[in-house]
Amino acid sequence: MERRANNRHRIGTIATLCVAALVGTVCAQDTGKPAASAGQGRLLDKLKSAGMDASLTVLPVGLGSKPSPQVGEVVGIFLERAGMKNLEIGATEFRTPEKAELAQTATALGEFVRANPPATDYALYADFLGSPGKGFTEVRGVIVNKQGEVVWQDRQTAEDADFKRIKPGEPMTCCMLLIERLRPVLNLGDPNREDAPQGKLAQRWEQKTGTLDESEQKAMKERQQAFKKAASTATLVVYPVRADGKSNPASAVHLAKLLNDARLTKAVAASDGPQLDIKGNMNEQKMLWDMARAIREHVQAHPPEADYVLFADYMMMSKDAVGTVHFAVCDRKGQLVIVDYQNDHHDDFNAIKPKSAEDGDRLVVKRLEGYCK
């Protein structure tokens, strides 16, 4: 399924969910900053020699001064996709000293690791600094060995070339910048390549999403084929769209009109619908499937007179930017027919560049065309 392929390619596009919440140099001499000591240079050489075979614990990432285990998992998944196999995700949270410079953070991390020794040879801590409304201004990374000795430290700001190129605006792109800085240190591959390996961390993440198992996916694909054949004459109830956590009946009218204008199906707008409480999560796929299951349960409890129902959910990143567009279609029995998600890592999303709920409606129609024709 396209959804599954996209999930493998981008690991569920986690970071678009974290904007509201709110690694420098691989070797200091790379940018004219103070050079590493001879001792640290030897430690770095040893790490480089181990490369992607090094055993590494990824600690919860500092995100707006608060440790985030989920962002740490994302870093771990990227490292895994880049070729590392000996990875663990640390549960114990390290907190940086207030207003600490990179060197102070590195020293404090060494003390933390000595007091909380990992099972691996090395520990990685990343800190994404910024503020609400201004975005991220700095991405830091520090690796220490299990003895607490600083091996590598990296700091990227808007003055640095990689920062300028990647333009980290949310946690996902901060993770990408961190991995980019680590690639020459650990001899890593491109984590975004099509054939990137999916290891235990990615599998564990996918299990948390609650995605359908193989037999359920097969059954849903069969229902999609039936929908495709029947769509032009089938009736479909459009529930009020959930935009930025709020139900919007007017959007149901607009979306139903677009569907009818496109002659995809015989759509009717519902004046009311399910009031879903979908919890925010770094794992976008979990939010998608929480929504899909909630709609399935609602339809099973309140069977419609129509052949199908549609529910769409848009996350607004700001008053003029849509972050994600999710929607689900169920048949009258409450069986899932379509579960679809779009964000700025998808071609259809970027073709429309949704800035409003109305744009989100247009994207849903564009996506449904692919299921109907």
Residue 154 in 3-state DSSP? strand
pLDDT of residue 37: 64
Options 3.30.70, 3.40.50, 2.60.120, 2.60.98; which CATH number does 212-372 get? 3.40.50
Phi, psi of 39, deg, nearest 5: -65, -45
Domains in the chain: boundaries: 2-208, 212-372
pLDDT of residue 19 exceeding 80: no
Q: Which two tokens stand for residue 258?
A: 């677009």
Residue 350 in 3-state DSSP? helix
Give dist(CA 365, CA 360) in Å, integer. 9
Q: How long, in residues, is the chain? A: 373
Domains 2-208 and 212-372 share a fold: no
Q: Which two tokens stand for residue 36?
A: 């590493």
When pLDDT is cut at 50, 70 and 90, the band that residue 207 belongs to is low
pTM of full prediction above 0.85? no
Q: What is the pLDDT of residues 161-195, one digit of tens each?
A: 999 999 998 888 899 999 999 999 999 999 988 88
pLDDT of residue 274: 84
Q: What is the pLDDT of residues 79-113, one digit of tens each?
A: 999 999 999 999 999 999 888 999 999 999 999 99
Q: Which of 316, 323, 282 is nearest to 67 (CA)?
A: 282
What is the residue-averaged pLDDT of the chain?
Answer: 86
Give dist(CA 257, CA 253) in Å, integer. 6
pLDDT of residue 27 exceeding 60: no
2-208 architecture in CATH? Alpha-Beta Complex (3.90)
